[in-house]
Homo-oligomer: A and B are copies of this chain.
Amino acid sequence: MNIAIVGVGNVAWHLAQALQKAGHTITAVYSRNKAHSEGLTTLLPNAVATQSLNFRTIVADVVLIAIPDAALPGIAEQIKVKPGTIVAHTSGSQSLAVLSTITGANYGVFYPLQTFSKNATVDVQQVPVLIEGNTEATIDLLTQLAQTISQKVERVDTDKRKQLHLAAVFACNFTNHLLGISQELLQKADMPTDLLQPLIQETIKKATTHHPYSVQTGPAIRNDQNVIDEHLRLLQHQPNLQAIYQLLTQSIQATKGNNYSSENPA
């Protein structure tokens, strides 16, 4: 297929290259900043760098919009395509309907469930791609396109995609922040930050093969108030961390006795 890409961030970067590798032709890359789109088109032999959102003169079966969520409504308003072109965005949190105002287009969602960085290799074949579309034909075509780069393609409507995105914020964004706090505490105590690595790896491994609630360890689940009090004392000059410690401790204790099966239901 011929594909135009809107955006030059991490998602655009990885998707453009995965699609090209799968045999598709990237015909154009849009960025407000020409140097930015040229940075990506140098890797794509058939792509032009464009600063226009009018794609009527570009050969494209699909226009893929990979830009920050907050910019999506504003960009969608300006896009012009030939009738019947499919316009799809790659956002986890934006509705399908945000693209409904594009005259004559079919529209959909092509959401790769992964965190991308330009300098880190990702095996896109293992990245779930979640598809939504305004017609069955749009869904079919986006599904076929996704299956050329990923083994895990699922059809998911806007409501479920939003729930999934919310779950990802807890599992990934918040988890990453806790790992950052932990590293900060180790640095303040002048301890090597890699000391916790085996424990972190084992924690994640266990949470993959069991329901995390069923393998919860630590002072909170043991109701070990002496240790909890001592930890709160150690955090006395960091009220933000104290608040997080207290709230998560209470939340862990609230899961107690719910008899979560230790089998992973996945």
**A→B interface (CB under 8 Å):** 68-70, 93, 113-115, 117, 120, 122, 126-128, 154, 156, 159-160, 162-204, 206-208, 211-213, 215-222, 224, 226-227, 230-231, 234-235, 240, 243-245, 247-248, 250-252, 254-255, 260, 264-266
Contacts and interface: CB of A to CB of B under 8 A. Distances in A.
Contacts of A230: 93, 162
14 contacts: A93-B227, A113-B196, A160-B189, A160-B191, A167-B182, A170-B245, A171-B200, A173-B218, A174-B248, A175-B200, A180-B216, A183-B211, A243-B247, A244-B251
Contacts of A197: 208, 266
A212 B266 contact: no
A117 B219 contact: no
A170 B191 contact: no
A198 B127 contact: yes
B114 A199 contact: yes
B167 A178 contact: no
Greatest chain B CB density within 10 A among A159, A207, A226 is at: A207
A159 B201 CA distance: 25
Contacts of A235: 166
A120 to B, nearest CB: 7
A207 B227 contact: no
Contact of A222 (B68, B164, B178, B187): B68
Nearest to A246: B247
Given A248-B244, A264-B193, A166 B185 contact: yes
Contact of A179 (B126, B128, B171, B185): B171
Given A117-B215, A193-B266, A172 B160 contact: no
B185 A115 contact: no
A167 B196 contact: yes
Given A215-B176, A240-B251, A254-B240, A186 B163 contact: yes
Nearest to A185: B167
Contacts of A177: 212-213, 216, 220, 248, 251-252, 255
A1 B265 CA distance: 44
A169 B247 contact: no
Contacts of A243: 247
